């Protein structure tokens, strides 16, 4: 038996119950992992509240790190005793141990501790695919301006450092001066407090009136419309979250009027759909984290 969090219906944090569950043996393509640390993410809130509906009852949590205890038939990239970390469906990381699909579980390099491993997989792989795979026409070159909202959040603080590493001029937004300062100290070239400044006007100012090639927007409802104003012609609006609520329906004509813009809605789970792509992206993440990238997480022990 092990302890795990379960919810029986969507709702607030009070829906979470600590229960005893049986953790069985892994079937084909699965592993059993004993967690040393788990990661918390905004998607956990969407899943708990029902913005992303789940079948009940369910576990919660999509990210963790620990030691593999057993592997099922057909799993060749992991063995019992391996240190490992993952970002993966189905929800269920809020537990001491679990059986789960092996596909998205990666061997954790010795240079990376469990807490860092648990904090970096979902958030770091998201920063990886956004900056390396979700690109405007012609790609991004060193010196290009990009706008990244909520830059002081978990994904944002990794993206700020990675963008600097890539030579990009990242303009980050955040909701307080303290958060702006934190993002600046970790690599954002420019920061805007979007609670008290008109971020579209500031982006125009910073880019000499040209606008940015791409906006990475996880805030959603509150930033959507103004973000379109920040783009140069043929720019890319990459929306990937709903922290303030989902983006409302819009008429495609608006994209033409603002300069033949592109819009895409991205999710990590399309990018890590195969074992090969997961490992390739994770290797890229491991190398930058092992070389000193700091994470914005706060470890909590209990």
Strands of the chain (E only): list them.
2-6, 17-21, 30-39, 63-71, 83-87, 97-101, 105-107, 145-148, 169-174, 190-193, 212-217, 231-239, 262-265
CB of 154 to ligand NAP, least distance (A): 3
Rg (CA), the chain: 20
26 or 64: CB nearest ligand NAP: 64
Task: List, as one string, the DSSP characters of 121-188.
Answer: HHHHHHHHHHHHHS--TT---TT-EEEESSTTSHHHHHHHHHHHHTT-EEEEEESSHHHHHHHHHTT-
68 or 173: CB nearest ligand NAP: 173
CB of 115 to ligand NAP, least distance (A): 16
Which two three-digit tokens encode residue 249? 């329906």
CB of 124 to ligand NAP, least distance (A): 10
Does 15 interact with ligand NAP (rule: CB under 6 A)? no
Which two three-digit tokens encode residue 143? 């010196």
9 or 264: CB nearest ligand NAP: 264
Does 154 interact with ligand NAP (rule: CB under 6 A)? yes
State the chain's maximal CA–CA distance in angstroms: 61
Does 88 interact with ligand NAP (rule: CB under 6 A)? no
* Site map 158..177 versus ligand NAP, x via CB under 6 A: ----------------xx--
126 or 207: CB nearest ligand NAP: 126
Does 52 interact with ligand NAP (rule: CB under 6 A)? no
7 or 268: CB nearest ligand NAP: 268
How much of the chain is in helix, strand and coil states, percent to nearest 5? 30, 25, 45
Does 264 interact with ligand NAP (rule: CB under 6 A)? no
Q: Out of 2, 49, 244, 277, which residue is the one contacting ligand NAP (CB under 6 A)? A: 244
């Amino acid at each position: 038996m092990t302890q795990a969090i379960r919810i029986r219906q969507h709702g607030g944090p009070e829906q979470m119950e600590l229960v005893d569950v049986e953790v069985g043996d892994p079937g084909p393509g699965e592993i059993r992992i004993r967690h040393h640390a788990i990661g918390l993410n905004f998607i956990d809130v969407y899943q708990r509240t029902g913005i992303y509906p789940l079948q009940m009852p369910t576990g919660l949590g999509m990210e963790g790190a620990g030691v593999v205890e057993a592997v099922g038939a057909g799993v060749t990239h992991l063995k019992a005793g391996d240190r490992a970390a993952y970002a993966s469906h189905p929800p269920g990381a809020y537990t001491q141990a679990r059986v789960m699909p092996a596909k998205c579980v990666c061997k954790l390099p010795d240079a990376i501790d469990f807490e860092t491993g648990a904090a970096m997989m979902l958030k770091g792989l998201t920063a990886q695919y956004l900056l390396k795979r979700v690109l405007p026409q012609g790609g991004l070159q060193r010196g290009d301006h990009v706008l990244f909202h909520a830059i002081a959040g978990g994904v944002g603080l990794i993206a700020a450092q990675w963008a600097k590493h890539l030579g990009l001029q990242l303009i980050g937004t955040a909701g307080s001066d303290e958060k702006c300062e934190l993002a600046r100290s970790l690599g954002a070239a420019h920061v805007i407090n979007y609670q008290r400044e008109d971020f579209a006007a500031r982006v125009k100012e910073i880019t000499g009136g040209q606008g940015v090639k791409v906006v990475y927007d996880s805030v959603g409802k509150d930033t959507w419309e103004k973000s379109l104003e920040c783009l140069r012609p043929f720019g890319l609006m990459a929306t990937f979250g709903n922290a303030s609520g989902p983006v409302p329906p819009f008429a495609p004509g608006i994209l033409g009027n603002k300069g033949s813009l592109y819009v895409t809605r991205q999710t990590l789970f399309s990018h890590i759909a195969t074992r090969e792509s997961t490992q390739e992206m994770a290797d890229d993440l491991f190398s930058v984290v092992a070389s000193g990238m700091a994470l914005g997480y706060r470890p909590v022990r209990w």
